Structure 1
Amino acid sequence: MKLPENIQGFIKAQNNQDSTAFANYFTEHATVSDEGSSYSGREEIEGWIEEATEKYNMQLTPIDFSQTGSKGKLTLEVSGTFPGSPLVMNYHLELDGSSISSLKITD
């Protein structure tokens, strides 16, 4: 499966547990929705992913990716130190050029 460069980088940043690099794949005013909470802006996104990574030690393995216009859907196997690991999750993305403007995580 061929992934766009920005999506490859986003996954690599997470797997390297680099929350700053991860957050830099988002636009300045991006939003993330995960587990019933929302985060806005790079600073909040960086804090969210840093906390989640410390808590769950997550690793992402891409399964599928599709994109139509500015909307993308990334299906991943997410493994870590959480009940039920690994889980298959869907990352619903809104893209703004090479940056992510919105991410909603669902199972």
Structure 2
Amino acid sequence: MPDLPGPVAAYFASDTAADVETLAAIFATDAIVEDEAKTHRGLAAIRAWRVDTMTRTPFTARPLRAEERDGRVVVPTEVSGSFPGSPLTLEHRFTLRDGRISALEIA
């Protein structure tokens, strides 16, 4: 794994079914995740998104590198699973605040 900031490394290392308390160590309580044209706000919604995504289409995510761009940590990630076009590379764009992820955009 490339050298990633603590909360970003914790995000990639965490179990997709992690409980809200575990996610609270990674995400800010008011965090926002944007993925598949949907917005998920807050820890409970983020947990539901993670569980739903993995249930619908199991996958693995392998960070390729990390760079800072426009105040965000951008991590191109190889995503492999049982979906058309696998594997593909998705950009994970993290905004960090006070040692936690305050926003994540996956595109």
Gaps of 5+ in 1: none
Q: In the TM superposition, what is the alpha-carbon distance from 1:38 to its structure 2 partner?
A: 0.5
Provide the alpha-carbon RMSD of the alignment: 1.9
Alpha-carbon distance in structure 1 between the residues aligned to 2:71 and 2:97: 7
Which structure 2 residues correspond to residues 1-107 of structure 1 after superposition, within 5 A? 1-13=2-14, 16-20=15-19, 23-24=23-24, 25-67=26-68, 70-106=71-107
CA 69–98 in structure 1, closer or farther in 2 if over 3 Å, else same: farther
Q: TM-score, normalised by structure 2?
A: 0.85
Q: In the TM superposition, what is the alpha-carbon distance from 1:18 to its structure 2 partner?
A: 3.2
**Paired letter, 1:17:** T
Gaps of 5+ in 2: none
Q: In the TM superposition, what is the alpha-carbon distance from 1:6 to its structure 2 partner?
A: 2.0
Alpha-carbon distance in structure 2 between the residues aligned to 1:53 and 1:99: 22
Deviates more, 1:97-106 or 1:37-46: 97-106
**Paired letter, 1:23:** L
Indicate if the aligned counterparts of 1:60 and 1:76 stay in contact, CA closer than 8 A.
yes
The structure 1 segments of at least 4 consecutive aligned residues displaced by more than 4 Å after TM superposition are none
Alpha-carbon distance in structure 1 between the residues aligned to 2:69 and 2:37: 26
**Paired letter, 1:96:** R
RCO higher in structure (CA 8 A, sep ≥6): 2
Q: In the TM superposition, what is the alpha-carbon distance from 1:49 to its structure 2 partner?
A: 0.7
